[in-house]
Structure 1
């Protein structure tokens, strides 16, 4: 088992850095290199959120996980991962499948279709289409126009042109030090990309599987 840096269990930690105080602060000059690093260099990105989860298990449809974050970025998830090799979904996808993709090292770009203009969606889609370990989908009700997720990491933003989008992807996509299953595939021929399991915005009902934080 590879040892990864730990934060206090059960807490969401937001990295802080000196900035102008705006939501579009430019990342520091020490933007991570493309190579995976033996430390969590994403913590240098202003606004990053990190939460550690216990080793997760699997559920199967129709079982739901009582996620403690929206969008979720760790914990129990479906046994089948959402295909995540450069896929831009036009429909919102079930959380449990998307979280499994994160476990494999993918970066998931979620966006609110009500608050992000079409040009912004297109700009983000260009960063995803055909790119291994990248996946994108609408996320109705999202409290920001954009939310980036990797395993145990999240960054919410307003502007698709914010340089922190690229900084997040470079730091965390397939970073073997920050996700549980280095080398796991993002291909899943059995996952229907045109009609994926649907996103359910309702609160998880009684009897749902705890997230495992």
Structure 2
């Protein structure tokens, strides 16, 4: 018969109770009595002395990362200085280049080789090429001078400037006309075609055909021209070699009654129709303007 205290009976058994009067003392044979689960808070962090004080983190060389001053966190390695130097040098070089380009432009505009004033026209300024190309002039005065006063023009033939109070009638002339009166005609939008007196008669006839009744075209000979044929308008001029050159017609279409003239559409008739040699300021009505 099995004993009622046989542990094989009735499944697992509770641990034996401590001997009466021995809790929390010793159990049988001096073994500590069962104390139950440990009481109190869990351990805080690693045991004392771990890791060893002053040991660097694993995998990093001694002394890294460096430690900042007491009370201040480490801010990382110091920033490299001098990074802006290439930008400063580049900006200075760019400024030098811009100054040089600006100076070159001013030098060109004031008459350097190929510049706007090369080939000179005084204070009026000119742009454009040589013979066969239209040259443009600016800064031209439109003031009147007293009849009989001679105006020293910067261009020959003139393309504008001071002039008499009356104009030269448009038309075809066999002799040189009154220059200061012809400039007044340019002010009204006239194209003045001048030619060398020695030009072949066939070419002269072709030039005169550009004038028609009511047109703003003035044709006359003139000495000491820079080319055999010169067509002038207010602020514009072209020099040509031959009367058959199609650029004469192009110039007329561009500048006859051009809005670039100070007074386009003002009369080109009813004023002076004489030659330069016949001019007498005492016989001219200065009220014609």
Q: TM-score w.r.t. structure 1 length?
A: 0.69
Report the secondary structure of 2:275's partner residue: coil
Alignment of 1:73-84 (within 5 A): 73-84=159-170
Cα 1:173–1:154 shift into 2, 3 Å:
same
Q: Deviations over 1:96-120 (max 9, x none)?
A: 1111100000101000012x10000
Cα 1:138–1:101 shift into 2, 3 Å:
same
Matched, 1:187 2:269: yes
Partner Cα separation in structure 2 for residue 112 and residue 199 of structure 1: 20
Pick from 137, 145, 157 the counterpart of residue 59 of structure 1.
Answer: 145
Aligned to 1:110: 194
Aligned to 1:146: 229
Provide structure 1 residue ranges, at least 5 long, that are not aligned to the other structure. 1-6, 17-22, 24-45, 201-213
Aligned to 1:206: none
Aligned to 2:246: 163
Greater fraction of residues in strand = 1
Aligned to 2:276: 197
Q: TM-score w.r.t. structure 2 length?
A: 0.51
Aligned to 1:47: 133
Report the secondary structure of 1:47's partner residue: coil
Rg larger in structure: 2
Note the aligned Cα RMSD (angstroms): 2.2
Assess if the C-alpha contact under 8 Å between 1:12 and 1:49 holds in 2: yes
Aligned to 1:133: 216
Q: Deviations over 1:75-96 (max 9, x none)?
A: 1011110001xx1011101211
Assess if the C-alpha contact under 8 Å between 1:112 and 1:142 holds in 2: yes
Aligned to 1:12: 126
Report the secondary structure of 1:110's partner residue: strand
Shift of residue 197 of structure 1?
A: 3.1
Shift of residue 198 of structure 1?
A: 3.2
Aligned to 1:26: none
Matched, 1:124 2:207: yes
Assess if the C-alpha contact under 8 Å between 1:147 and 1:156 holds in 2: yes
Assess if the C-alpha contact under 8 Å between 1:83 and 1:101 holds in 2: yes
Report the secondary structure of 2:257's partner residue: coil
Greater fraction of residues in helix = 2
Shift of residue 199 of structure 1?
A: 9.3
Assess if the C-alpha contact under 8 Å between 1:93 and 1:199 holds in 2: no
Partner Cα separation in structure 2 for residue 66 and residue 150 of structure 1: 18
Assess if the C-alpha contact under 8 Å between 2:124 and 2:140 holds in 1: no
